[in-house]
């Protein structure tokens, strides 16, 4: 069974396919609008030749095409105007037929095409009440067109079928647009959750270093002024790193699009640097073993965050830690990450944070397994196994 892909690597095709389908549906509908309008105008023009009214059919067709393009962004107005014109043409037809005995009867397909296209946009964009009003007006408009045709009932059935298909297309686009918005919202929420985790991991690590150095400086006090200066320099360095991490991550939360990646990434080389800095800061011996050849590049940021949070917890909760082992190696069909220390651990009341929860959720999202807890006798162990994507 295929395992889930690491975050930020292969997990996005699902939403992208949804968005692509929505855009494909829009393209199909727009193509149908062009083909349908052209076909219905052609029917009007062709059938009007033998009835000696090509000029009237051409004029009405021109007005309807112009109406579609002119009111496409305000389709309810377009439907009302198109239906009103259909009523006027029908009244004119009966007036000329009764008074002059002249049959000026355009078949009306271009009018039905305009009302159907604009009705499709009405149900896609308007609120339900306004959409229902627009549909009612369009239905009345098609009836006005049908009553002046040679075969009112069959043609009215064709007109209503055309209108129904257009409405269904509009409702489908409305649903697709809503689905696209929900997908985009869900993606943004997931990205912001990932950023929040990154912010916690990164800032908590640096702040822990600041606290440890401040405690060391306070402990030595007046006994060793030079050591105090060194501690203050490290505090300043950690503070600058913290501010840079916060600025980078908070900047990624902004809505404005930019070339900067959504969240910073780190690799195995950064894991080694991170571990050695923590060892030097907290004063314990480090045993680090990383199999660089076994780790895919897409997994490196997640491994970095697991090690970072584990070392942060050691600095925050570990007591009398003299040795820490950091191992990253191949285990069966995945990568096993372990961070083990030999100290005593304590959890202050009300201080339990989101570090372990964040690590567990990250590993679970990648289809792996996570365990963290005390070792038999003494020490604390964090172990994560992440399957390698195939």
pLDDT digit string (tens) for 154-174? 889 998 998 999 899 888 888
163 versus 345: the higher-pLDDT residue is 163
Using 50, 70 and 90 to split pLDDT, how confident is the model at 323?
A: very high
Among 136-150, 219-233, 327-341, name the one with the lowest average pLDDT.
Answer: 219-233
pLDDT tops 70 at residue 336: yes
Q: What is the pLDDT of residue 273?
A: 87
| Residue 144 confidence (pLDDT) above 50 | yes
List, for residues 300-322, the tens digit of each pLDDT value. 888 888 898 889 888 888 888 99
Is 68:117 a contact under the CB 8 Å cutoff?
Answer: yes
- Decide which of 198 and 143 is more confident: 143
pLDDT of residue 232: 72
Residue 117 pLDDT greater than 80, yes or no: yes
pLDDT tens digit string along 17-41?
A: 444 566 676 778 778 778 878 888 8
Domains defined for the chain, CATH in brackets? 13-183 (no CATH), 266-390 (3.30.565.10)
Looking at mean pLDDT, say which of 179-193, 195-209, 254-268, 323-337 comes out highest: 323-337
């Amino acid at each position: 069974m295929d395992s889930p892909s690491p975050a930020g690597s292969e997990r996005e095709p699902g939403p992208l396919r949804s968005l692509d389908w929505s855009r494909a549906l829009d393209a199909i509908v727009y193509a149908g609008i062009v083909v349908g309008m052209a076909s219905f105008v052609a029917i009007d023009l062709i059938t009007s030749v033998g009835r000696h009214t090509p000029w009237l059919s051409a004029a009405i067709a021109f007005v309807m095409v112009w109406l579609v393009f002119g009111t496409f962004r305000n389709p309810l107005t377009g439907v009302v105007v198109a239906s009103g014109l259909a009523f006027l043409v029908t009244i004119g037809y009966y007036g000329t037929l009764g008074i002059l005995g002249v049959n000026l009867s355009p078949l009306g397909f271009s009018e039905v095409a305009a009302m159907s296209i604009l009705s499709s946009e009405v149900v896609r964009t308007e609120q339900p009440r306004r959409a229902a009003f627009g549909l009612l007006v369009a239905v009345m408009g098609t009836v006005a067109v049908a009553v002046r045709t040679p075969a009112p009932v069959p043609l009215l059935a064709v007109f209503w079928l055309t209108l129904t298909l257009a409405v269904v297309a509009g409702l489908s686009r409305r649903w697709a647009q809503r689905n696209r918005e929900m997908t985009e919202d869900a993606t943004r929420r997931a990205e912001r959750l990932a950023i929040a985790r990154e912010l916690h991991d990164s800032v908590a690590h640096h702040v822990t270093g600041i606290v440890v150095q401040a405690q060391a400086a306070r402990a030595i006090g007046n006994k060793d002024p030079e050591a105090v200066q060194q501690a203050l320099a490290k505090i300043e360095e950690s503070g600058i790193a913290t501010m840079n991490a916060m600025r980078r991550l908070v900047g990624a939360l902004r809505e404005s699009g930019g070339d900067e990646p959504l969240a910073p990434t780190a690799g195995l080389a950064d894991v080694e640097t991170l571990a050695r800095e923590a060892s030097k800061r907290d004063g314990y011996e480090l045993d680090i073993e990383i199999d660089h050849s076994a780790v895919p590049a897409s997994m490196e940021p997640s491994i970095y965050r697991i090690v970072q949070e584990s070392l942060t917890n050691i600095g925050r909760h570990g007591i009398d830690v003299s040795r820490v082992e950091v191992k990253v190696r191949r285990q069966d069909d995945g990568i096993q990450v372990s961070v083990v220390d030999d100290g005593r651990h304590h959890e202050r009341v009300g201080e339990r944070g989101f570090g372990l929860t964040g690590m567990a959720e990250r590993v679970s999202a990648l289809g792996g397994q996570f365990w963290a807890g005390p070792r038999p006798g003494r020490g604390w162990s964090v172990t994560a196994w992440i399957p390698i994507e195939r």
